[in-house]
Chain A
Amino acid sequence: MRNRFPHRTASLLISLLVIFSIPILVKAQSGSPTSVTDDEVNSVARELYCPVCENIPLDVCGTQACAQWRELIRQKLEAGWSKDQIKVYFVEQYGDRVLATPPARGFNWLIYLFPPLLILLGGIILYRSIKIWKAAPPARENPNEEVPLEKDPYFAQIEDELKKR
């Protein structure tokens, strides 16, 4: 859902961007003052998952590798890449698992379709069941049935007291 970038176009674009950004990256690494803030880096890293850890977003991952990936994001941002371009780059490099949710395509559609369909089906079953229950006569009176709340003398007393106020 997040990644609607056509696959081939994205690859081509990334390749071109990588080629053209090399001089900029080299310049950034040579110690020039950075114009990209940590918050900007984190806003991208937050939407990516550590490619090698288990279920840890990149912005909070404490490993050295993740620190290097965040630095890579910084370099890309300095090079003028957009958030989506950086995300596509990471997907190209490490696969769909770096995205916080599976991209809505092919087999992945199942993750988005299955729960609402099942819940909808459950809702229909529930609706029909209640209708049938309402229509059907009682099998027999429930011997364990307790006195309904409104018929409970204690609560009748409470109601009386409230009415007196």
Chain B
Amino acid sequence: MIANIGFGALWFALVVAVYSIGSAIYGARRKLTNWVDSARNAMLLTFPLLTISVICLVILLVNGNFEVDYVASVTSKSMPLYLKITALWGGQAGSLLFWTWAMSAFAFAATLRNWERDREFLPWVVVVCSITLSFFLGLIIFVENPLARIWVLGGNLAIKSMFPPTGATLLFQTDGRGLNPLLRHPGMIIHPPMLYLGFVAFVIPYAFAVAALITGRTDDRWIRITRRWTLVAWLFLTLGLLLGARWAYDVLGWGGYWGWDPVEISALMPWLTGTAFLHSVMIQEKRGLFKRWNMLLIILTYDLVLFGTFLTRSGVLSSVHAFAQSSIGPLFFGFIGITFIGSLALLLNRWNDLKSETHMTSWLSREALFLLNNFLFIGILIVCFWGVIFPLISELVTGQKVTVGPPFYEQATAPLFAGLLMLMGIAPLAAWQHSTVKTLGKSIWKPAGISLIIPLIAYLLGVHNWAALFGFWLIALVASVTIYEYGRAVIARARSHSQSWWRAFWELTGRNRRRYGGYIIHLGVVLIGLGVIGMQMFQTETQGTLAQGQELKLDQYTIRYDSIAIFDTTDGRNIARAVVSIYKDGNYVGEIYPRRDYYIESQQPMTIPGLRSTLADDLYVILVDWQAISSSAATFKVYHNPLVNWLWIGGLILIIGTFVAAWPEREIQTSRAKSHKKQLAGSNA
């Protein structure tokens, strides 16, 4: 019954989404406001309908209705309640439903805004959102239905279907197969929804861009409307990437956080174009330049969002043949192709209307440096895109499978990332329009001089790796320029307003949230860079089999294997948990407990490292193997990860900076409103 209600809501949502497309187009063409309003209301309705559907699936998951195939594939009786709920996005069909529901929520929120000034955009925003929704709803209803049940026909023939085939009876399974153990981690519980929210939120700026192209209102209005949407999308996508990295670090047991896996890269690619877009739109707003480029960037971002979902959901990564057999792969491929070609056609149609309003005056102007920043982001995108699709092309052309692993990406993207850091150091000091070597040199020499202290100290402390020293200098340059700029403004405000530094900092940030939010984000990136340099340049590892009481050395650390306990838990795990003592420079600093959880039901092992974290480094110990009966010896893999925690701290600061940049500027609005009221009062008097 519940499954039927959910399925009915899905169908209803599809019908209203398709209706809203037709109604919006008809209303826009005939200039019939009623039809456009009707389309808008229809699209609004998809959100409550999809909410009903999601609630139905959650009820089925929580109740353990194992006759529903999806429920049986991602839950089991022994799973705790929160995992049963989060199993909503634990499998393909459920995650598609979640994606669509989140999309409808964003479309709902975007449609509820005040449209008075932008009435002509409304029907086309509805059309784009509803087309995207209809595509995903079609996939869910016809191909990957999370509410479909298992029926038994004749002897043992099991059929997955929403409704009973003739003569079939429902298969009631006593228990499900349970959620993939790798997904039973707090990071993985939050990571997918953050990523999906980031993905779907980018649909809104894309919808406005398409609306601008169709209506011919190609000024920067669409950018100003969607500025906050873009930041929200970027925030969620960044959070998703960071949480995914933390999950990999905590659960995958290979001592790192980023493996250049195609699934990771598929989430990184829209982030790259989205970040380029966030910078590039500022040039259009300030200088009226790069209108075509901004359109292209948001089109690319939208299609990379779809491409990312396609890569992870179509099976194409395992093999091109799996893609061909996949039920959703070709559909996705077709939809990406149609939307990309259609968007490009619209862009070409408006090509002449999108001419720049001013011209570039200096190679060192902020707009030129922002353009270079975009070039580097796109360079990284090219490397990532080509690295992900090359194995598929190779298999298709030569029949030979190849792996494109971290060495390729690291070597190809390292100079591009270094270039980006360099620009982060220079661009904030460059003026719009006019900037010369002299003016730029005058503003940069102080922070640049300060930045040299860091690599010098590192050198004196024994770091003689030139790449690491260069990396330290780059991040020091960005940090010193950012703090110098911020500090200068805070001091000036504190003096001019006779304020405390803290108050001056607070009010200055509130006065121009976008700029200072951006600076905070840059500081976050600096700390992330510090963590990356630590891991890339200075990570060390060793592995050894130890008898109880034996020790293993790595850098200044010594670990001693004390004991191991092997036991079963009530939630279906067999756990082997070692006790390991840690000594640093010969002094005892604590105990850690690396363990291996074996999920009996799914027969899957999961490695949970033992971690000793400080701001300087992590000691990361994995239990590789052990003697099951005597427990007298165990094999450990030990990683020493210098500076890695700065990566997480930097991520947190980056998120805070994004909140600052995206927060509505109430203070300014209020003060403007106050001054306006004063003026009015004055004129009345």
Contacts and interface: CB of A to CB of B under 8 A. Distances in A.
B679 interface: no
A8 interface: no
Contacts of B288: 142, 144-145
Given A110-B390, A118-B382, A146 B286 contact: yes
Given A96-B400, A114-B386, A158 B544 contact: no
A54 B10 CA distance: 34
B488 A158 contact: yes
Interface in B463-493: 488-489, 491-493
A126 B363 CA distance: 11
Interface in B99-118: none
Contacts of B390: 102, 110-111
A100 B406 CA distance: 7
B432 A107 contact: no
Interface stretch (B122-130, B158-166, B296-304, B354-362): B354-362
B355 A134 contact: no
B442 to A, nearest CB: 12
User: Which of B289, B398, B405 has the most chain A CB within a 10 Å cutoff?
Assistant: B405
Nearest to A117: B382
User: Which of A67, A108, A111, A134 has the most chain B CB within a 10 Å cutoff?
Assistant: A111
Contacts of A164: 495
B491 A97 contact: no
A134 B286 CA distance: 17
Interface residues of A, number: 57
A95 B289 CA distance: 50
Nearest to B288: A142
Nearest to B439: A150
A95 B492 contact: no
Contacts of A159: 492
Contact of B219 (A111, A136, A140, A144): A144
Contact of B357 (A38, A130, A141, A146): A141
B371 interface: yes
Nearest to A150: B431
A81 B544 CA distance: 22
B403 interface: yes
A22 to B, nearest CB: 27
A43 B314 CA distance: 34
B544 A148 contact: no
User: Which of A42, A133, A137, A148 has the most chain B CB within a 10 Å cutoff?
Assistant: A133
B541 interface: yes
B227 interface: no
User: Which range contains the number of B residues in contact with the other chain?
Assistant: 35 or more
User: Which of A115, A137, A140, A159 has the most chain B CB within a 10 Å cutoff?
Assistant: A115
Contacts of B543: 37-39, 42
A80 interface: no
Contact of B492 (A97, A149, A157): A157
Interface stretch (B55-63, B254-262, B518-526): B254-262
Contacts of B397: 107
Contact of B431 (A37, A55, A106, A149): A149
Interface in A90-118: 95-102, 106-108, 110-111, 114-116, 118
A122 B379 contact: yes
A128 to B, nearest CB: 12
A123 interface: yes
B426 interface: no
Given A107-B394, A130-B371, A162-B491, A138 B403 contact: no
A97 B403 contact: yes
B287 A145 contact: yes
B355 A101 contact: no
Interface in B384-443: 386-387, 390-391, 393-394, 397-398, 400-408, 412, 431-434
Nearest to B596: A62
B33 interface: no
Interface string B24-61: 00000000000000000000000000000000000000
A161 B371 contact: no
Contacts of B491: 161-162
A55 B287 contact: no
A163 B567 CA distance: 71
Interface in B345-391: 355-363, 368, 371-372, 375, 378-379, 382-383, 386-387, 390-391
A55 B402 contact: no
Contact of A136 (B318, B359, B545): B359
Contacts of A26: none
A60 interface: yes
Contact of B358 (A99, A107, A108, A139): A139
A130 B368 contact: yes
Contact of B635 (A38, A115, A142): A38
B379 A119 contact: yes
B173 interface: no
B215 interface: no
A101 B375 contact: no
Given A101-B403, A149-B432, A161 B541 contact: no
Given A145-B287, A162-B491, A134 B359 contact: yes
Contact of B386 (A42, A67, A95, A115): A115
A161 B495 contact: yes
A138 B358 contact: yes
A155 to B, nearest CB: 8
Contacts of B274: none
B510 interface: no
Contacts of B361: 134
A60 B259 CA distance: 11
A62 B434 CA distance: 58
A101 B405 contact: yes
A38 B544 contact: yes
Contacts of B434: 148
A89 interface: no
13 contacts: A37-B544, A38-B637, A42-B637, A62-B253, A101-B403, A101-B404, A101-B407, A102-B402, A139-B356, A139-B358, A142-B287, A145-B287, A158-B493
Given A115-B386, A161-B491, 17 more contacts: A38-B542, A49-B403, A67-B625, A96-B402, A97-B401, A97-B403, A99-B402, A100-B408, A111-B386, A111-B408, A133-B289, A133-B356, A133-B360, A134-B362, A139-B355, A146-B285, A158-B489
Interface of A: 37-39, 42, 49, 54-55, 57, 60, 62, 67, 95-102, 106-108, 110-111, 114-116, 118-119, 122-123, 126, 130, 133-134, 136-146, 148-150, 154-155, 157-159, 161-162, 164
